[in-house]
Structure 1
């Protein structure tokens, strides 16, 4: 076992200072991803700064009708909160669809957003991986990739982002709040995850040493009528093959507001803005829903063994929107 130092922070400033003072230090929340990667030898921090006990937990309402989720709030507490369930039901459903109950009890909101985008090759030190060693190669492109990306991938990495929570948060225009030694900042979740590019080891736009303190959800009337649906290879504790977070407002048969985000299709949660544009002010029909899905997926570039994801994503978008529109699904 590789030795590392452990420090427990009691204030945000203390945590920031400890990370700044120790080369190779990382923040430790629930540890459900980081500790696993340390066991595999993928992550090798010299110091862990425990932030689980910082005063950053809880869910609070904002004056405009939104919510703020503290970064150290457990996934279980976030999913069970009555206002999350009432105002953003797709978010609650997404969190409950992720991992197991035991992991949700440990995992935190901030840690969930920072879990590594990964596949089996990333965790296997005997294989090259551009996320571990930039420039070493991506064996998944010609190897086992049936559950990999179909959108926005590059020859440097084809892994998909694993977070269910982040998909729902992306649909609802969430904003990530953080602290640094130079002060506070925030990043819209739509800009939080970086495109793969030629450096897939760089995953987020957080400044070096920054600590996530909260995730803010703006007020959203349409979010109250939302769903999250996840297709996976087994009933529990599996990453999404494809997932959809959607919200829909229909008035007099026309779409007045719509939000769609996809999981399991790209290196980051995928906001389906093309599909949303097709749907705005149009008829809320299955034909229109399918056309919107096809427009979004026109940019898909499936690999040798994952072309089925295009059909799956199209059908899933149509099914969720049909459910939200109150239709029975007849075309």
Structure 2
């Protein structure tokens, strides 16, 4: 298991991450399969888009159906019928965003389930154990994610706690001797000094890769980019870098320009369920009446069955009458578009023409400006 940096063009990186279930070419976008499914999609159709890795979530899977049950099925790969790489988030963000009641102490976090109100305990060690039972190829440390905006004291406390939890998670992971990969998570809000402290502390612990967490929570895009700018210099060039929960095509373009290798976001499927499509021409709302008589394919430039074989008029009809097939087809297309975007960026970096490709895409999506 390793990360190899193949090309650098400006700040953008073209790399290759080797995992127990395959090779991931970077930069890459991971469709979100929070509860062992990419919503509305068959995994064979997710695979057809060129997706190399999907994301699952410790918080949701520990509640339903439970890590032991997934393990009894042979692990998450077999359970959800996905033979390629799986990354699991540790659940820290979900504890913050979904739990009606949570109590954090030095040892871990106690929280109330958003499903049935039952109480649960998650520690750095138990988060590792759960992810090992799930069989994830890339596993995340448990961290404390604070809501933004937050005061300086809360941000500093979350960094200190997350660093301590990171050291404990790494120790537990290495003792298990899994041969898999584990990433640390950089916290620190939008405070440059706390971001640097967090990143440098995690690098000292020594993870297989490093994620930037605690962003994409409502802050302006410029603030997100500025936070990446102050964090990236503290991360080793020889390790994969993952920006968690991001984002729009413009977010991805700007983050790739700043040296980020991996992304995940619910946006392609969430927007797909609401009739929104990301296309080579930009974002379109298929609910709009102007598409009712449009007989052109959704996006013939994308090599995807849903993109090429169904008209915008037909998809408009499905959305308007509430047919579930609308969500499937538009989500399928959106994932395929994101995979094409990543492939185009990879090719441009390898060819030394990233700036040109960035400018072309930024004309559609933004994300091309420097901050």
TM over 0.5, shorter chain:
no
Q: Which structure shows the higher helix fraction?
A: 2
Q: TM-score range by the shorter chain?
A: under 0.3
What TM-score do the two structures reach when normalised by structure 2?
A: 0.24
